[in-house]
Structures are given as structure tokens and as C-alpha cells.
A and B are shown apart, each in its own frame.
Chain A
Amino acid sequence: MVQRTPLYDAHVAAGAKIVDFAGWEMPINYGSQIEEHHVVRRVAGMFDVSHMLAIDLVGCDSQAFLRRLVANDVAKLTLPGKALYSCLLKDDGGVIDDLIIYFFTPTKYRIVVNAGTATKDLAWMQAQAANFNVSLTPRRDLAMIAVQGPQAREKFWQAFPETRATSELLGVFQAAEWQDWLIARTGYTGEDGFEISVPATQAMSVWQKLLAAGVKPIGLGARDTLRLEAGMNLYGQDMDETQNPLESGLTWTLDFKDANRDFNGKSALARRQSEGQLRQLLGLVLLDKGVLRSHQKVITEQGDGETTSGSFSPTLNQSIAFARVPAGVKPGDEVQVAIRDKLLKAKVVKPPFARNGKPLI
């Protein structure tokens, strides 16, 4: 059955074009996707991300459980509210999902997972939790709104001045509880801003107040081009259960420092690393005219690769992509991409392509 978020009626009222996204009826755009993209890079926009699932984790073994469950190490989180990005891995190193973990105390965390993977994630976590004294609570009673852009925080405070004292001092990737909200300085656009969780019953009034403060609604279409420019992976496209983080541009999220810590997928990743010849997820900028899309063949001197995500970049005004390419391909190399019956020239770059309103390549 197709699901709707508490903000569905607001999207329809704003003229959204609604699409099925991972079983949810979500706004793809409210008009021009490119204009929405620019609004976020230049001013401030908001996304309904209530389809993602927050899972609360409590219990005396919470830290030990997470240190086993995910590839990044939550032991490095000591500041209350601090967040960590990590992959959830199978034993063979394949990626079950990517997620964000918020630390409150060593016995209390919140995990936010993708919509399309929420059911399998929860089942996996429950199974892994069997030997730990923890409890996992999915929070479908919450709505989540991401307010993003150079003026996002100012406009948010204009709408909710009472939250300013709590949220003003938050560093990047840090969150604070305010009454029954969670205000996090996180996002998926490469811009400053907040992601806020509020009780679903308040979602509509929060959305309306942000609208009144001049924050424009932005659809999932622009969310995709923004995250691609910002060099952020999309689960199911840039990595999935058949790919490991080492070959998905996510080595930085793996923490092998504590030799005494085992985590799901650790030995498989260590083995893969020692074999060498790792493929790499790098960026492409199309030099010829056209538009890169996912699953296009990339021809390099070191062998063939494949694009995983591709689109038109509104900030660069040319087409960009992520591509999984053989070992030895380097930023600066020129490669060819097969688009329909043509071979087009592209340059290899290291993502991100753009952040904080500016092109980076």
C-alpha cells in the first residue's frame, strides 16, 4: 500500500507533482526542479523527509550494540547530540543501508534510516540485538523536515525564535533536543541548515510557519541533484547489498582503529582490502554535450566502469555523474561514456562538485 507523510496535503496544495518513491507518495517538484535547486544553493528551501524512519535505541548495551552493528565507531561520539554517518553492513561487506546515528548518552541513541530500506533495516537490527540489552523503537509518530540553504538557519529562527538559544551553538553534524523536537545541523544538500524531527501532529503547523518565513518547498528531484553535486551517495543507486563501502567512496566511514572491536562485515572488508585492485567511486564531468545517467558504460585506459548516478548539474550548468571505475583511474583523466550510439568525453574528478553555493571543480 502506498503511504503518505503528514505533509501530503501541503504538497498537493502547493501544486506538487506527486510520485511513488519507495512506496511513499512524495513531491518530485512543485514546478521547476532547476529553480528549486538554485533556491537551496542561494537562499533556503525545505524538504519533507518524513518517509525516512527514526529509530530510538535505549538500553545499557546500546553503545556495545552499535559498535558491533555499524562500520563506523560510535565510541568516538562523546558530545551529547553529536551525529555520525555510517554504513550498515552484511557479513560479506555488502551495504544494507547508510544511516545517521545521533548520540545522547551511551545508553540512548537515535538512528535515522532510508525509507525504502526501513523494514529490512529494523528486522536486521532486531535480529542483531538478540544478545544485547537494548530496545529499538521505530518512530513513525514523528515527521522530519530538512531546512537547507545559506539562509536556512536564519529563516528557521525567524519562524521559531524560541528554539534559537538551543540550536544557535550547534556545530556541524550536531543535534539538540528542544521540547519534543530534535533539531540537527545535518542535511543532504551540501548547504548549511537543520533537519528537524517533530511529532507528526505538529508537522503541518511547522511547515506553514516555515513557508510564512519565506522557506520554499523543494521536491525530491532537486534533492537528488543537490546531493549529487555535494558528493553524497544515494543508497540503492551508488551502493547496495552487492557493493562494499571500499568501492563506493565510503572508506572514510569505516573505522578499523580499535583492533579489539569486531563489526559486521569487518573481516570481509579487511580481506577485500588486502586483495587490492579496488574499484573506486569517482566523479565525472561531461565535456561533450549530453546528459549522464546511471548505468552508462565508462571506458577508461584501465578497463570499463559504470556510472551509478548521473544528472544535469544546475550549479555547473553541465552534466555530472558518479562512476565506479577500475583501480588506477585518477582525477584529471579523460574517459569516454557510452550514451545511446555515441561515445562522449568526460573528465574524472574527485567529488564534491559543488557545496555552499559554489562550484568546486
Chain B
Amino acid sequence: MSIPADLKYTKTHEWLKQEADGSVSVGITFHAQEALGDIVFLELPDAGRVVKAGEECAVVESVKAASDIYAPIAGEVVAKNEDAIAAPESVNQDCYAAWLFKIKPANPADLDGLLDAAAYTKVEAES
């Protein structure tokens, strides 16, 4: 599975996408969903919640286990993906389309400090 070139990544296997409205979508990578197996439940943060970078803010549960998702950057949650909550398997089926939540970054420049596709390819290869 190729790693989309236009996204940013974290070492904990989340991806981030800069949206046109200034918000940032967050999801989990192909590697993450594959390691989790069939996803059956998502617990996502409500809009309005202010999160710090690295803060636990969502849980993805597969048949096997529950896995914490960390806020990759600081900011305010502006949306959670109700479609993904209704159909958690969509995260397995198309992980780069099935975003989990959107954050309005406290500092938009924080995105620059994250991994690009090339750097994440290395992280993935080592995990």
C-alpha cells in the first residue's frame, strides 16, 4: 500500500491532512489499521474539546484490542467523523479517506514539524 505523498504523519501511525478551511483532518495509517485488524468501534472526541499535542483523545477498538489515538498537534477539535462511527469498518477499507476527527491547530506551523511521506515510510519499515 503506497503512502500518500500529500499527507503528514506521526511515529504513532496517524496521518494528517491540511484542509482548505484551515482545519486538519486526522486518521490512522494503513499500517495501523492492518495491525489492529477488523475495527468495530470508534470513540472520537467531541467538537469543542481543546487538546494538547500527544494527548490521548480517541480510541479505536478492533476485534482484538483497544488502541489509543493521540492528538498529533495542539488545537481545538472541530468535528468528528459520524460516518466512520456508524461504519467503523470503513477505516479498514479506506484508511486515508476515513478521517476520524478534525482539529483547528493552535499553531498551524506545528504541522511542519511532523513526518513527511518519505520519513514515515522509514518509520513504517522499522515497525
On A, residues with C-beta under 8 Å from B are 28-29, 32-34, 221, 225, 289-291, 293, 311-312, 314, 319, 340
Given contacts A290-B41, A291-B40, contact A340 B59 (CB under 8 A): yes
- In the complex, are the beta carbons of A32 and B40 less than 8 A apart? no
- In the complex, are the beta carbons of A34 and B38 less than 8 A apart? yes
Report B55-67 CB contacts with A as 1/0, cut-off 8 Å: 0000101011110
Find the B residue at minimum CB distance from A291.
B61
Residues of A contacting B: mostly: mixed
A221 / chain B contacts, CB cutoff of 8 Å:
37, 63-64
- In the complex, are the beta carbons of B66 and A29 less than 8 A apart? no
- In the complex, are the beta carbons of A311 and B41 less than 8 A apart? no
B59 / chain A contacts, CB cutoff of 8 Å:
340
**Cα–Cα, bound, A289→B61 (Å):** 11
Find the B residue at minimum CB distance from A19.
B64
A314 / chain B contacts, CB cutoff of 8 Å:
63
Which of B38, B43, B65: most chain A Cβ within 10 A? B38
- In the complex, are the beta carbons of B38 and A32 less than 8 A apart? yes
A29 / chain B contacts, CB cutoff of 8 Å:
37
B61 / chain A contacts, CB cutoff of 8 Å:
290-291, 312
List 28 A-B pairs, Cβ < 8 Å: A28-B64, A29-B37, A32-B37, A32-B38, A32-B92, A33-B37, A33-B38, A33-B63, A33-B64, A34-B40, A34-B63, A221-B37, A221-B63, A225-B63, A289-B41, A290-B41, A290-B61, A291-B40, A291-B41, A291-B61, A293-B65, A312-B40, A312-B61, A312-B63, A314-B63, A319-B40, A340-B59, A340-B66
Contact pick for B41, options A28, A34, A312, CB 8 Å? A312
**In the assembled complex, how far is the CB of residue A243 from the closest CB belonging to chain B, in whole angstroms?**
24
B43 / chain A contacts, CB cutoff of 8 Å:
290
B63 / chain A contacts, CB cutoff of 8 Å:
33-34, 221, 225, 311-312, 314
B41 / chain A contacts, CB cutoff of 8 Å:
289-291, 312, 319
Find the A residue at minimum CB distance from B88.
A312
The 4 nearest A-B residue pairs measured at CB: A312-B40, A291-B61, A34-B38, A33-B63
Find the A residue at minimum CB distance from B68.
A340
- In the complex, are the beta carbons of B37 and A291 less than 8 A apart? no
Find the A residue at minimum CB distance from B38.
A34
**Cα–Cα, bound, A34→B62 (Å):** 10
**In the assembled complex, how far is the CB of residue B100 from the closest CB belonging to chain A, in whole angstroms?**
15
- In the complex, are the beta carbons of A293 and B38 less than 8 A apart? no
A33 / chain B contacts, CB cutoff of 8 Å:
37-38, 63-64
Report B24-45 CB contacts with A as 1/0, cut-off 8 Å: 0000000000000110110100
**In the assembled complex, how far is the CB of residue B45 from the closest CB belonging to chain A, in whole angstroms?**
13
**Cα–Cα, bound, A329→B50 (Å):** 41
**Cα–Cα, bound, A29→B62 (Å):** 13
**In the assembled complex, how far is the CB of residue A13 from the closest CB belonging to chain B, in whole angstroms?**
19
- CB contacts under 8 Å to A, within B66-110, are 66, 92
Which of A28, A29, A291: most chain B Cβ within 10 A? A291
**In the assembled complex, how far is the CB of residue A346 from the closest CB belonging to chain B, in whole angstroms?**
14
A289 / chain B contacts, CB cutoff of 8 Å:
41
**Cα–Cα, bound, A289→B37 (Å):** 19
**In the assembled complex, how far is the CB of residue B59 from the closest CB belonging to chain A, in whole angstroms?**
7
A291 / chain B contacts, CB cutoff of 8 Å:
40-41, 61, 66
Contact pick for B66, options A32, A225, A293, CB 8 Å? A293
A290 / chain B contacts, CB cutoff of 8 Å:
41, 43, 61
B66 / chain A contacts, CB cutoff of 8 Å:
291, 293, 340
Find the A residue at minimum CB distance from B85.
A289
Find the A residue at minimum CB distance from B42.
A289
B40 / chain A contacts, CB cutoff of 8 Å:
34, 291, 312, 319
User: Besides the contacts A32-B37, A32-B92, what 7 more A-B pairs have beta carbons closer than 8 Å?
Assistant: A221-B63, A290-B41, A290-B43, A291-B41, A291-B61, A311-B63, A340-B66
Find the A residue at minimum CB distance from B35.
A17
A32 / chain B contacts, CB cutoff of 8 Å:
37-38, 92
**Cα–Cα, bound, A32→B61 (Å):** 15
**In the assembled complex, how far is the CB of residue A23 from the closest CB belonging to chain B, in whole angstroms?**
20
